[in-house]
């Protein structure tokens, strides 16, 4: 079905109407579909969880290469279409559900012997980050995610300190996974055409988080506060953006203790430096509370 004419035929056959609330853009380029499968390193041993199968174009490719596929589609109007387009693929199960409500651990146990699954997704851009971070933060049994996202979002996920695209998303993704941009995808590869370019990015999950930190929640609170107002120095961002029982001077001393200049901004810190700063604050908070 990786053809504009066939995609339109299926859409017209069922009187399907694209729904803006789901951010639907269907892939119509076989080369891109093959790049997704290669980037995800799908084999006949794999159980694949696909998010947002649409009319099943990518799902058919996945069914050919993988042992088994579960395709999670939130739009119930697409279910009859998927039953038609995937009817010849006995190794595919379609689930009409919100991916954030799916018991992925249960799926992995039933379909993959409890082993982590490979996630593939052509995600609506407005919900890209909540879905990716929701899967990471829930500690779902995921080996890797290979997802289609907006170009800008893909760049932000893999950027390093000092770049204008480096931010809280870069740090959050890199804490959990190693990002790799596998392909850039122009708007003409979709129906309807999106207004921006896209990219296929593979996020290979680390066996353990990239850095060890005493208090994960505190570290990410520090990261968010430091990037909420990028032009502020790190000490001002923390002093204004968090309710911490420390003066600005005390925060400055902790930052200086890491060997950083007083005027440093959050965008200059690596993930490891944020982890060390978080540990210093965690220790100081424990001392204040008598722990």
Q: What's the confidence (pLDDT) of residue 6?
A: 87
CA 129 from centre of chain: 5
The tokens describing 49, both together, are: 């969880």
What confidence tens digit (pLDDT) does each residue in 238-270 have? 998 888 888 899 999 999 999 999 899 999 999
pLDDT at 95: 96
Residue 260's CB is within 10 A of a number of other CB atoms, namely 17
Whole-number Cα distances in Å, 224 to 203, 230, 247: 21, 10, 19
CA dist 161 and 166 (Å) reads 6
pTM: 0.91
Residues paired with residue 177 on neighbouring β-strands, in sequence order: 205
Q: CA-CA distance, 12 to 16, in Å (whole number)?
A: 6
Contact call for residues 199 and 185 (beta carbons, < 8 A): yes
pLDDT of residue 290: 62
Q: What is the pLDDT of residue 233?
A: 94
Q: What is the pLDDT of residues 33-71, one digit of tens each?
A: 999 999 999 999 999 999 999 999 999 999 999 999 999
Task: Convert the pLDDT of each residue in 106-158 to its tens digit.
Answer: 999 999 999 999 999 987 777 888 889 999 999 999 999 999 999 999 999 99
223 exposed, middle or buried (CB, 10 Å; 0-12, 13-18, 19+)? Answer: buried
Is pLDDT of 19 > 80?
no
Q: Long-range CB contacts (< 8 A, 24+ apart) of 157-164?
A: 157/201, 157/203, 158/201, 160/270, 161/267, 161/268, 161/269, 161/270, 162/267, 162/268, 163/267, 164/267
pLDDT classification of 271: cutoffs 50, 70, 90: very high
In the chain, the domains with their CATH numbers are 4-205 (3.40.50.150), 216-288 (1.10.8.100)
Mean pLDDT of 3-22: 83
pLDDT at 291: 54
What pLDDT does 69 receive? 98
- What is the full DSSP assignment across 270-291? -HHHHHHHHHHHHHHHHHHTT-
For residue 287, pLDDT beyond 90: no
Each residue's pLDDT tens digit, 179-192: 999 999 999 999 98
Give the whole-number percent of the chain exceeding pLDDT 70. 98
């Amino acid at each position: 079905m990786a053809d504009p004419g066939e995609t339109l035929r299926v859409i017209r056959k069922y009187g399907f109407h694209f729904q803006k609330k789901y951010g639907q853009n269907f892939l119509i380029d076989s080369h891109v579909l093959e790049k997704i499968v290669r980037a995800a390193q799908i084999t006949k041993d794999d159980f694949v969880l696909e998010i947002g199968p649409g009319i099943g174009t990518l799902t058919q490719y996945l069914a050919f290469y993988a042992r088994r596929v579960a395709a999670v589609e939130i739009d119930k109007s697409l279910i009859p279409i998927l039953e038609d387009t995937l009817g010849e693929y006995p190794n595919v199960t379609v689930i009409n559900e919100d991916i954030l409500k799916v018991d992925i651990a249960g799926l992995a146990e039933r379909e993959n012997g409890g082993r982590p699954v490979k996630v593939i997704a052509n995600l609506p851009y407005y919900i890209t980050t909540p879905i990716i971070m929701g899967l990471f933060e829930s500690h779902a049994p995921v080996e890797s995610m290979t997802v289609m996202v907006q170009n800008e979002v893909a760049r932000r996920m893999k950027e390093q300190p000092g770049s204008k695209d480096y931010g809280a998303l870069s740090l959050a993704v890199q804490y959990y996974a190693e990002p790799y941009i596998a392909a850039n995808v122009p708007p003409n590869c979709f129906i309807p055409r999106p207004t921006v370019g896209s990219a296929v990015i593979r996020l290979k999950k680390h066996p353990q988080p990239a850095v060890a930190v005493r208090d994960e929640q505190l570290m990410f609170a520090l990261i968010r506060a430091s990037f909420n107002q990028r032009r502020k120095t790190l000490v001002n961002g923390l002093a204004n953006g968090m309710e911490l029982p420390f003066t600005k001077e005390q925060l400055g001393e902790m930052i200086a203790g890491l060997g950083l200049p007083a005027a440093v901004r959050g965008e200059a810190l690596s993930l490891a430096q944020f982890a060390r700063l978080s540990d210093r604050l965690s220790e100081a908070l424990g001392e204040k509370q008598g722990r």
